[in-house]
Amino acid sequence: MRNYSRKVIPVFLALLLVFSVPFSSYEGTAEAASGNKPVRLVMLQKRAQDNGSVTSAFRSVGVKVTSVTTLKQADPKKYDGLILPGGSNDIVPSLYGAKNYGKSIYPDIKFDRRQIKAMKRFVKAGKPVLGICRGMQVINVAFGGSMKQDLCPRHCGFRRMRNVKGSLERRVLGKYCMAYHSHHQGVKRLGKGLVVTSYDSRSKEVEGFKHETLPVYGMQWHPELRRSVQGTKGLFRTFKKECLKCRKAKNPLSIRGKTVKVSYNKVKKKAQKLPVKKVISFKHKGKGKMRYARVSGSKRLIINKKTGKVTVKKRTKKGTYRIKVMVKAAGNANYKPSSAKTVTIKIKVR
């Protein structure tokens, strides 16, 4: 009997240890086993060790969230996405061209600018951004929107929300859902490029939006709280997939141009032609088309807007010629916005 118990007890303890591990942790381990690096997000907030509910919500889908308080720590090169969480500090009204009528509580313009700069950095790097409650308001202001400084009545507790057809909330939560809210300010004017994805059924206030082309999402309610609507785990899982998608996507915002030097022999005849065409090669990330435009420089150099070929006019005297060219890279299917960069080209005629 003793020998039997010695064999059974270790097996029982091993099974108990295996099944005591939460099933949510298997998402991260399965991803690591497949060879992909686990998704890492950074959450920029005013104080460290805050908004633990957001961290635990993303942990349940295998995503690691690091909380930071400075702009330097929120580096897009180190993380796959940015989280702007909720908070008690209202946005300074001057940032959206309004006066503070005493309704904006505990404004902190330094913190507002810090989060706006961080958001713009991640957008420029082509990485997703998620704003929750106050974070959604920061995104709206960053894109040129404005805020209602005080809602009457305030949105507190559970409220019925309607999700727009085709939105992420509609796919995950359905047409209507009861969600937990805790905010006294709302969107007055939507920022440029933002589209409403959900709104309050009673007051018609905007409760969620996304950007038309960028991987930027905003939710005025609190999907991270357990007491909120069921099924929110699907929202975090979808945001994780968006981070993986943008990690693989090529970002056309990085443009690198070469400074080209072309040399010619001394001109024997005054009317001698210089039939030279030099292709200026620009390396950029993405499959988007390139466009070229002259900014300043010598008129002896002609640049083709579509191909980027530079032609040196005939009867050009010897010397050094410079031309400033604006290079525009259009977006691809995964990252649509275009960007521009100015490059100086140097050509020597001898």
Residues identified as active-site: 133, 222, 224
Alpha carbons 109 and 299: distance in angstroms, whole number: 47
Q: Give buried/exposed letters for 56-87 (b at 16+ CB in 10 A, else e).
A: ebbbbbbbebebbbeeeebebeebbbbbbbbb
CA 287 to chain centre: 19
Q: DSSP label at 25?
A: G
Residue 203's CB: how many other CB atoms inside 10 A? 14
3 state SS for 83-96:
EECCCCCCCCHHHH
And the tokens for 257?
Answer: 């141009």
Residues 6 or more apart in contact with residue 96 via CB below 8 angstroms: 141, 145, 146, 147
The answer to whether 172 and 234 are in contact (CB under 8 A) is yes
Residue 271's CB: how many other CB atoms inside 10 A? 7
